[in-house]
Structure 1
């Protein structure tokens, strides 16, 4: 297993206070080392003398000089007799932490006894190093206990830095099994932004999560939250059902949770043959059939006719009839574009008209056009009313990528059905591919406004390229028009 280590370097107001308090130290160091010479003969000369790195080096050196310390920290580990001793400086602790300021109100205190959990005690030295120099190197499995320490001692900049690190390194954390635990931790600390980022990563990479050991560690609340989403990326709905079945067997949730989870499966998206097989062979379904039999019956009714006829009697504009992001060839196609910055490309593929079993023989042919550089409508409107110079100033290399998807099939056969197009953008990190972005639109990615805006497809080193190729997956979702009213 590969170990990932990252350096966090966070600056805050407290660092500035340290700079002021140790100004004498900086000046003496600058004179001794001759760090910078500036000619000030011209009275109009403006220069900046920056020796902050020297200060950081000196502050870091204080950690190893116990003879200059004025406070001793004794950190006890859990309930054991084990103790870690650190020699620190009253002034630094008070400047960086409100908690230490409260603990050290009595200036005569020379020893401070602290109690930490084993996982936090191991990282206490890293917390001290951050307090002294604003920098700390961490491993993926350090982030939660280090954040606990930063929270306990109210070191706000370090708290925020770790949260940002977690948000940006979910792909690195997944192979080591941290994403689900990070989500659960974000719930405990009430960080809604990190919660959503974790849920989104899990949803967009659901097929991989299902196969990992993290799947069994998902809490009841998280499982319910995930199953309510329409942006789950899976092969098909059947994959979700069998994965949920295994989760139920492993975790044995209470009856209420089990019913909620089973009702969150979109049975109408599973073909009748597999629905019969689930009813016949699934032990979980047999035990809780009474909870979902009405949904199964509704699914069979949906498959018995076209959505257009079905919509005359039932409301089809609810999540039960909305496809998720299915990777099956029935609903889209993978598209690998070699050298995507070179020129326009096109491809064609077929999808099923609707999930209804009555439409299995009906296919829609789609044409997709990829353009690596195009002129946004807003710019075109501007350039037509301006001078020719404005058009010349526009650099094609700075243009935006765009994808347009249109059907070649006669639209008359689409009566009652709209189509949402979804594009998954896959990238590769540490030997694993994962979905980085999901874009939804009706015809062109121009509708999203930010399609591959930061991709830098001109650069071979772009994180969006795998072996110099752009990996997309196009998904077509049939969405039923709300114009048809169900008969009351």
Structure 2
């Protein structure tokens, strides 16, 4: 290793003693003094000044003992950076190995074009401990941090990506980040991307990324029951566009089409698909049995059908549909002020046999805990009169206004979608499933801090919810032939 000049070695030693903390923490303003640790003990911090001098050292190349020659695979782009072995080895064990094995003062590094474009930012981070990130640079910076085992930067970029899933971009970025996370084994980023896409599916369907997503991601989404979208028809139309654009093999297209929940479409939509959809006409044989069961589902009594078929299979399980037939939006202004209630109607069930029947629901939001003993007490008008406790947590209760014999064989799952504002976009932040009260979850809005006006969960001072009621038909004893 080339010997550093004495003054550079002295400066770097000072940096190691005083300024290294700035690489992992938030440096205080230059010249501030913290008092603490004991009587008469003061701390004088000039870490920001040290970092600024380190940045100047990198920019000017003073005392450099290694040249980093960054080349793309086709050698059509070359970038040369004058650096210092001590800092590189301090920050990266990979650099330490490369520098020990090099011949001469130049270290040749082969990088992809996207990584080469941000390599100077990456090196600057090693000197200064911070960098600016743009959406289209995040993947490349994560690649470099992973390759050179700079764990602090890797974790920081992962956090940046998970916090910027909602940010608007012309061509979309969440699906691309998911594919990258899947490839590299970043479980945290992978799960965050997949959940965001599932809960904000309409945005993905309308983005530039949708026609090019992988079949693996497509199937991962189609198999989920927590997808948030307007209707199953919206999903079919988008799937038809994906098949037309991607031109997958026959087996992939058939598997995707079989993941559509045709029974959640009314018969009029099924008839239209069978007569107007070119995709369904091409692959109708592969889904004929599903269409047949869907028509049976709509024509027969669910109770009667449940004697012969498993009505709990995915074909008969609703997703989180935003259509008015399935629930209602609910905007609660000043949510910490007092209890609120609302009423709405849904169809008794997705079966055509029940589609004309309506159920009226009463929903109560309480900003404070409601004890089990006072879960729901009704007046003669059917309004719920809760008992509130100061200092409690928020909760939502959803109950039918009246009981009915039609409910036999139907189990109603309630879902509350909680919206939030992220990076200027309104997105679904949380999805809570319960049967009567969000108290069943135990963590409803536990992180929301609704008393703080700047809470991410408040949009213009209001809490935006959407209540979905999902009727699930219960299987009975299977009849014997």
Determine the structure 2 residue equivalent to 1:22: 16
CA contact (8 A) 2:68 2:107 kept: yes
Q: Once the 2 structures are TM-superposed, how far is the Cα of residue 199 of structure 1 from its aligned partner? A: 1.3
Determine the structure 2 residue equivalent to 1:433: 426
CA contact (8 A) 1:314 1:487 kept: no
Which ranges of structure 1 fall in alignment gaps of 5 or more residues? 1-17, 27-32, 381-393
Q: Once the 2 structures are TM-superposed, how far is the Cα of residue 209 of structure 1 from its aligned partner? A: 1.7
Is 1:127 aligned to residue 119 of structure 2?
A: no
Q: Aligned partners of 2:35, 2:267: CA distance in 1, in Å? A: 82
Scaled by the length of structure 2, the TM-score of the pair is 0.87
Q: Aligned partners of 1:340, 1:212: CA distance in 2, in Å? A: 33
Structure 1's 24 and 418: CA in aligned 2 closer, same or farther, altered over 3 A? closer
Runs (4 or more) in structure 1 with deviation over 4 Å come to: 18-21, 33-40, 43-51, 173-176, 375-378
Is 1:365 aligned to residue 360 of structure 2?
A: yes
Structure 1's 286 and 106: CA in aligned 2 closer, same or farther, altered over 3 A? closer
Determine the structure 2 residue equivalent to 1:452: 445
**Alignment partner of 1:136: what SS?**
coil
Cα deviations across residues 198-240 of structure 1 (Å, max 9, x unaligned)? 1111111112221222211211111111000001111111111
Determine the structure 2 residue equivalent to 1:487: 479
Segment of structure 1 superposing worse, 290-299 or 464-473? 464-473
Instruction: Figure out how many residues of one structure are paired with residues of the other and give that number.
Output: 447
Is 1:422 aligned to residue 415 of structure 2?
A: yes
Determine the structure 2 residue equivalent to 1:228: 223
Which ranges of structure 2 fall in alignment gaps of 5 or more residues? 1-11, 21-29, 376-387
Alignment of 1:209-224 (within 5 A): 209-224=204-219
Q: Aligned partners of 1:485, 1:180: CA distance in 2, in Å? A: 43
Q: Aligned partners of 1:367, 1:204: CA distance in 2, in Å? A: 25
Is 1:65 aligned to residue 65 of structure 2?
A: no
Cα deviations across residues 222-262 of structure 1 (Å, max 9, x unaligned)? 11110000011111111111111111111111011001001
Cα deviations across residues 143-187 of structure 1 (Å, max 9, x unaligned)? 111111112222122112211221221111566500011011111
Q: Aligned partners of 1:19, 1:352: CA distance in 2, in Å? A: 73
Determine the structure 2 residue equivalent to 1:287: 282
Structure 1's 224 and 24: CA in aligned 2 closer, same or farther, altered over 3 A? closer
CA contact (8 A) 2:421 2:456 kept: yes
CA contact (8 A) 1:74 1:112 kept: yes
Alignment of 1:393-432 (within 5 A): 396=390, 398-432=391-425
CA contact (8 A) 2:334 2:462 kept: yes
Is 1:167 aligned to residue 162 of structure 2?
A: yes
Scaled by the length of structure 1, the TM-score of the pair is 0.86
Q: Aligned partners of 1:106, 1:409: CA distance in 2, in Å? A: 79
Determine the structure 2 residue equivalent to 1:305: 300
Alignment of 1:199-214 (within 5 A): 199-214=194-209
Q: Once the 2 structures are TM-superposed, how far is the Cα of residue 371 of structure 1 from its aligned partner? A: 0.9
Determine the structure 1 residue equivalent to 2:383: none
CA contact (8 A) 1:180 1:217 kept: no
Cα deviations across residues 322-350 of structure 1 (Å, max 9, x unaligned)? 00001111110011112212111100001
Alignment of 1:9-408 (within 5 A): 22-23=16-17, 45-105=40-100, 109-172=104-167, 177-374=172-369, 396=390, 398-408=391-401
Segment of structure 1 superposing worse, 455-464 or 74-83? 74-83
Q: Aligned partners of 1:469, 1:36: CA distance in 2, in Å? A: 42
Q: Once the 2 structures are TM-superposed, how far is the Cα of residue 45 of structure 1 from its aligned partner? A: 4.4
CA contact (8 A) 2:322 2:468 kept: yes
Answer 1 or 2: which has greater helix percent. 1
**Alignment partner of 1:170: what SS?**
coil
Structure 1's 376 and 72: CA in aligned 2 closer, same or farther, altered over 3 A? farther
**Alignment partner of 1:471: what SS?**
strand
Q: Aligned partners of 2:308, 2:101: CA distance in 1, in Å? A: 77
Cα deviations across residues 33-75 of structure 1 (Å, max 9, x unaligned)? 98659899xx964554544334323322221232321111122
CA contact (8 A) 1:140 1:173 kept: no
Q: Aligned partners of 1:360, 1:395: CA distance in 2, in Å? A: 40
**Alignment partner of 1:315: what SS?**
coil
Q: Aligned partners of 2:219, 2:409: CA distance in 1, in Å? A: 31
Q: Aligned partners of 2:34, 2:406: CA distance in 1, in Å? A: 79
CA contact (8 A) 2:171 2:207 kept: no
CA contact (8 A) 1:77 1:117 kept: yes
CA contact (8 A) 1:19 1:55 kept: no
Cα deviations across residues 98-123 of structure 1 (Å, max 9, x unaligned)? 12111111587422122222211111
Q: Once the 2 structures are TM-superposed, how far is the Cα of residue 125 of structure 1 from its aligned partner? A: 0.7
Structure 1's 106 and 19: CA in aligned 2 closer, same or farther, altered over 3 A? same
Q: Once the 2 structures are TM-superposed, how far is the Cα of residue 312 of structure 1 from its aligned partner? A: 0.5
